[in-house]
Amino acid sequence: MDRAERRIVEALTSNPPEVSYNPYAYNEDIELLSFPVAIVLVAALANDYIKRRYALAEARRAYSLFKLENEEKIAEIAGKFGWKIRVINRQIGFIRFSFALHFIDYLKNAIAFHEKEWKLVNRMVHNGEVYLSKHDVARLLQEEVRRYIESKIDLSAEVKIPEEILKYVEKIRQICSEKIKETPLEPIPSGVVNDAFPPCIRELYEAIKSGRHVSHIGRFTLTAFLLNIGMDAESVINLFRSLADFNERITRYQIEHIAGERGSRTKYTSPKCDTLRTHGLCVGSDELCRRVKHPLTYYLRRTRALEKREKARVEE
Amino acid sequence: MIDNLVFIRNAFSRYYSENIDRVEIPKSIENREFGFTLFKEGVMVRHKGFMKPEDLKDFIKKNIPSNVFYSAAYYSVPEAKMDEKGWLGSDLFFDIDADHIPTKCNKKHDVWTCRGCGLKGRGMTPDKCPTCGGESFDDKTWPCEICLETARSETIKLIDMLMNDFGFSPEEIKCSFSGHRGYHVQIESEGILDLDSDIRKEIVDYITGTGIDALLHGLEEVRDGKTRFLVGPSLDDFGWRGRIAKGTYEFLLAATENDLRNLGLKRKIIEKILSSRDEILESWKTSGPWNLVEGLGLDGWQKILQHSATFQSAKIDTVVTVDIHRLIRLPGTLHGKTGLLKVSFPVSRIEDFDPLKEALALKGEEVKVYVDEAPAFRLGDEIFGPFEKQSVTLPLPAAVFLLCKNAAKVID
């Protein structure tokens, strides 16, 4: 029980989060059994932040351990997760590849990483398999473990927890009360600040305003972006008014749909940078673009910078 | 005078009554959504479902739709509203259409008419009317041989990647001619059904070479004691690594001074590349051209490689593959814009498949039509036109083709 509690506390207090592994402090049985207990505790804590943090910390611990194992052992563990993987040990150019992994198992995990070396197009892919180093596979397995643990923790489950264990839950909750505080979502500044548009959105905005042709997905991107930064549906409809093929009824329907006022009631978010690149809507990045992955993040940062500048000017 | 639509509908009706078994029934028909456009209404009827092949065939025979579509997706309740259908999975689907690809014919055969001022022009439809600034056009597009050849060569590149890189077998890959200006490629294998849009997007980026970085494909500077030298991908490498090498080989084989200048290379370096072209080509047999051109370093080679990669990518319609609710034309049905059949064929036939011959499906007597304007076009082994404001007697498929394009009227 104590080790289970420690596992969670370690996850919440270490940075970057990682659960420790110390075979001298705890014997094998305790290490093994404390894990499912910790899962129950996390579920009882019923907090999404703790759940994600704990899964990540356990996954990072697993990663550290995987790296110490030999290729055959790693392949065996990966096989337990249903991966189609082979040990190959093959030298191509100056790189040594240790594994060949089926591209679907690769994509399901690599999709979470955003560095360009994880894009499939930058990998050696042959006959349905991606060629990988040991380090790559350990990293992908970390992601698989993280997803696996997250999926094991069901926050909505009504668990009947014995008094005895409830004490631990309360204790962890107290220790971590600072960490548990949900970080509030950043409020989007009210007025729409055109100067803070990222290049892609500015391009679409100018195109629509001057009545130039914009593809369907381009229109969707612009509309969802403007609605997300707080422009009301009416103003967005008016923006489209300058188009030659403007049809108020259809435009209104589509825009209200994107705003979540119709149909499925889903409020759509504009696509991320990566998606815009796929569809050829990224017009090339500026300095700030290189540091963000989403046009909305760009907008938030830029408005904040502009506000600061504005304040500085007033105080002068 | 017979109304065009009535005439086309009759021709379609005869095809479906005589050839209903050519309509290909998709796998798990009970989980697919169907959509149709009808001649009279011109609107799309969606969210249809059929439990048995016979039900679908009866529906088509009875309603004679101008276009028949089915979902690449599988649903628990295909007839329900979009968010209540219960998505079970989706085939992996690729669309290659000449509309989206720059072609050597420059689409000179296509005519656009501005809806605002009536101005007419040829080629790709402009974004904005040069006279009135309107952006709404009626366009008449034609499937010319060059357009179709371009689409074919993009399809070949796609199939090469699906087989050699992604490891799909020829039996898993279904090819078809769309009935208009492109090809469809579809994979129904178990493993890909549950892939979400994000993962499909990664596959799209792979096929279109989006986000590719030559420095992650073997191009690098290596130090050996005090000397530094470059290494790079070679022609027989796997996947994109080999593809980048092939692209570079082909680019440097034919590159003009202008091509190289557009990459931002310096004049002296361009001269050296051009004067040592033979040497460069020869070097691919050994360690590659990476250290042959004095002054051309990592940055310069990177520019050349990145540019060369673009020729190796396959120009698929990115939106279609990522969309996991897409409706696609059903093989074995007629295309309402041409009267041609969407026809499936095995991967092995992609090189010799003749779309303008094998998609001919309508049978009937010759028809006398008045043609307003049409470029020369081939159907089967015969070339028709060009026509301008004249009456001609044409075999049924050619007549229906022009009627579908709204370029002619039935006379008798």
A82 touches chain B (CB under 8 A): no
Are the beta carbons of B202 and A107 separated by less than 8 Å? yes
Q: Which residues of A touch B241 (CB under 8 A)?
A: 92, 124
Q: What is the pLDDT of residue A179?
A: 59
- CATH number of the domain bearing residue B410: 3.40.5.50
A250 touches chain B (CB under 8 A): no
Q: Is residue B159 part of a domain?
A: no
Q: What is the pLDDT of residue B168?
A: 97
Based on the domain organization, do B233 and B294 belong to the same domain? yes
Which two tokens mark B61?
């025979």
Q: Which of A128, A131, A277 has the CB atom closest to B166's CB atom?
A: A128
User: In angstroms, rounded to a whole number, what is the distance separating the alpha carbons of residues B17 and B35?
Assistant: 20
Report CA dihedral (A268, A272, A276, A278) to the nearest 10 degrees. Answer: -110
Query: Distance (Å) from the C-alpha of residue B130 to the closest C-alpha of chain A?
Result: 11
Q: Is residue B24 part of a domain?
A: yes
Are the beta carbons of B201 and A127 separated by less than 8 Å? no
Closest residue in B to A265 (Cα–Cα): B83
The one-letter amino acid at A311: K
Q: Is residue B147 part of a domain?
A: no
Based on the domain organization, do B65 and B184 belong to the same domain? yes
Residue A287, pLDDT > 90, answer no
Are the beta carbons of B195 and A103 separated by less than 8 Å? no
* Helix locations, B349-409, DSSP H: 355-358, 396-404
Helix (H, G, I), strand (E, B) or coil at B233: coil
Query: Distance (Å) from the C-alpha of residue B47 to the closest C-alpha of chain A?
Result: 15
The residues facing B35 across adjacent strands are B69
Based on the domain organization, do B235 and B338 belong to the same domain? no
Are the beta carbons of A111 and B198 separated by less than 8 Å? yes
Q: Which of A116, A244, A263 has the CB atom closest to B136's CB atom?
A: A244
Based on the domain organization, do B295 and B235 belong to the same domain? yes
Domains in chain B: how many in total? 4
Q: Identify the domain boundary among B140, B156, B177.
A: B140
Closest residue in A to B309 (Cα–Cα): A121
Q: What is the pLDDT of residue A159?
A: 65
Based on the domain organization, do B279 and B293 belong to the same domain? yes
Q: What ipTM score was computed for the predicted complex, to two decimals?
A: 0.91
Furthest-apart CA atoms within chain B: distance in Å: 87
Q: Which residues of A touch B164 (CB under 8 A)?
A: 126-127
Based on the domain organization, do B130 and B270 belong to the same domain? no
Q: Which residues of B touch A267 (CB under 8 A)?
A: none
Q: What is the pLDDT of residue A15?
A: 73
Backbone φ and ψ for B101, nearest 5 degrees, come out as -115, 135
Q: Which residues of B touch A128 (CB under 8 A)?
A: 165-168
Classify each residue of A196-209 as buried b or exposed e, where b means 16 or more C-beta atoms within 10 Å of its C-beta: bbbbbbebbbebbe
Helix (H, G, I), strand (E, B) or coil at B312: helix
User: In angstroms, rounded to a whole number, what is the distance separating the alpha carbons of residues A114 and B248?
Assistant: 28
Residue A66's CB: how many other CB atoms inside 10 A? 21
- CATH number of the domain bearing residue B298: 1.10.8.160
Based on the domain organization, do B224 and B130 belong to the same domain? no
- Compare B403 and A243 and report the one with higher pLDDT: B403
Q: Identify the domain boundary among B361, B380, B397.
A: B361
Angle at alpha carbon of residue B134, lines to A202 and B114, rounded to 5°? 140
Residue appearing with tokens 């796609």: B158
User: In angstroms, rounded to a whole number, what is the distance separating the alpha carbons of residues A61 and A7?
Assistant: 11
Which two tokens mark A221?
């991107």
Are the beta carbons of A123 and B239 separated by less than 8 Å? yes
Q: Is residue B12 part of a domain?
A: yes
Report CA dihedral (B232, B238, B243, B249) to the nearest 10 degrees. Answer: 50
Based on the domain organization, do B304 and B221 belong to the same domain? yes
Query: Distance (Å) from the C-alpha of residue B59 to the closest C-alpha of chain A?
Result: 29
Residue B365's CB: how many other CB atoms inside 10 A? 8
Q: Is residue B158 part of a domain?
A: no
Q: What is the pLDDT of residue B116?
A: 85
User: In angstroms, rounded to a whole number, what is the distance separating the alpha carbons of residues A30 and A40?
Assistant: 16
Residue B405's CB: how many other CB atoms inside 10 A? 19
DSSP tag of B407: -
Query: Distance (Å) from the C-alpha of residue B340 to the closest C-alpha of chain A?
Result: 27
**Residues sharing a CB contact under 8 Å with residue B313, sequence separation 6 or more, in sequence order:** B157, B207, B208, B209, B210
CB B326 within 8 A of CB B320: yes
Residue A189, pLDDT > 50, answer yes
A108 touches chain B (CB under 8 A): yes
Based on the domain organization, do B240 and B374 belong to the same domain? no
Closest residue in B to A121 (Cα–Cα): B206
Q: Which residues of B touch A245 (CB under 8 A)?
A: 115, 135-136
Q: What is the pLDDT of residue B96?
A: 96
Q: What is the pLDDT of residue B336?
A: 94
Q: Which of A213, A266, A278 has the CB atom closest to B135's CB atom?
A: A213
- Share the mean pLDDT of chain A: 84
User: In angstroms, rounded to a whole number, what is the distance separating the alpha carbons of residues B260 and B268?
Assistant: 11
Q: What is the pLDDT of residue B1?
A: 53
User: In angstroms, rounded to a whole number, what is the distance separating the alpha carbons of residues A219 and A225?
Assistant: 10
User: In angstroms, rounded to a whole number, what is the distance separating the alpha carbons of residues A83 and A99?
Assistant: 12
User: In angstroms, rounded to a whole number, what is the distance separating the alpha carbons of residues B123 and B112?
Assistant: 8
pLDDT digit of tens for each residue in chain B (412 aa)?
A: 568 999 999 999 999 999 999 999 999 999 999 999 998 877 889 999 999 999 999 999 999 999 999 999 999 999 999 889 999 999 999 999 988 787 877 777 888 888 888 888 888 777 788 888 887 888 788 888 889 999 999 999 999 999 999 999 999 999 999 999 999 999 999 999 999 999 999 999 999 999 999 999 999 999 888 888 999 999 999 999 999 999 999 999 999 999 999 999 999 999 999 999 999 999 999 989 999 998 999 999 999 999 999 999 999 999 999 999 999 999 999 999 999 999 999 999 999 999 999 999 998 899 999 999 899 999 999 999 899 999 999 999 999 999 999 999 998 6
Closest residue in A to B209 (Cα–Cα): A121
Backbone φ and ψ for A315, nearest 5 degrees, come out as -75, -15
Q: What is the pLDDT of residue B108?
A: 79
User: In angstroms, rounded to a whole number, what is the distance separating the alpha carbons of residues A129 and A114?
Assistant: 20
Using alpha carbons, list the distances in angstroms from residue B138 to B113, B115, B118, B122, B124: 5, 7, 10, 12, 12
At A141-181, the pLDDT tens digits run 999 999 999 888 877 766 677 777 788 888 787 777 765 55
Classify each residue of B239-278 as buried b or exposed e, where b means 16 or more C-beta atoms within 10 Å of its C-beta: bbbbbbbbbbbebbeebeeeebeeeebeeebbebbeebee
Q: Which residues of A touch B288 (CB under 8 A)?
A: none
Pairs across A and B, CB distance < 8 A = 122
Q: Name which of A149, A103, A94 is nearest B203 in CA terms.
A: A103
Based on the domain organization, do B223 and B335 belong to the same domain? no
**Residues sharing a CB contact under 8 Å with residue B23, sequence separation 6 or more, in sequence order:** B16, B56, B57, B60, B68, B330, B331, B332, B333
Are the beta carbons of A121 and B238 separated by less than 8 Å? no
Q: Is residue B149 part of a domain?
A: no
Based on the domain organization, do B226 and B352 belong to the same domain? no
Q: What is the pLDDT of residue B109?
A: 82
Interface test with B, best of A122, A131, A212, A268 (most B CBs within 10 A): A122
Q: Is residue B332 part of a domain?
A: yes
**Residues sharing a CB contact under 8 Å with residue A93, sequence separation 6 or more, in sequence order:** B218, B231, B233, B237
Instruction: Please report which helix (H) or strand (E) contains residue A5, including its range.
Output: helix A2-13
Are the beta carbons of A245 and B233 separated by less than 8 Å? no
Q: Is residue B100 part of a domain?
A: no
User: In angstroms, rounded to a whole number, what is the distance separating the alpha carbons of residues B81 and B46?
Assistant: 10
Q: Name which of A123, A119, A148, A144 is nearest A133 in CA terms.
A: A123
Tell me the average pLDDT across A132-143. 94
DSSP tag of A196: G
Instruction: Please report which helix (H) or strand (E) contains residue B91, including its range.
Output: none
Domain of B133 in residue numbering reads as 111-140
Interface test with A, best of B115, B190, B198 (most A CBs within 10 A): B198
Q: What is the pLDDT of residue B140?
A: 80
Based on the domain organization, do B285 and B266 belong to the same domain? yes
CB B173 within 8 A of CB B183: no
What region does A238 belong to: left with phi over 0, alpha with psi -120 to 50, or beta? Answer: alpha
At A54-94, the pLDDT tens digits run 888 888 889 988 888 899 999 999 999 999 999 998 888 77
Are the beta carbons of B201 and A275 separated by less than 8 Å? yes
Residue A123, pLDDT > 80, answer yes
The one-letter amino acid at A168: Y
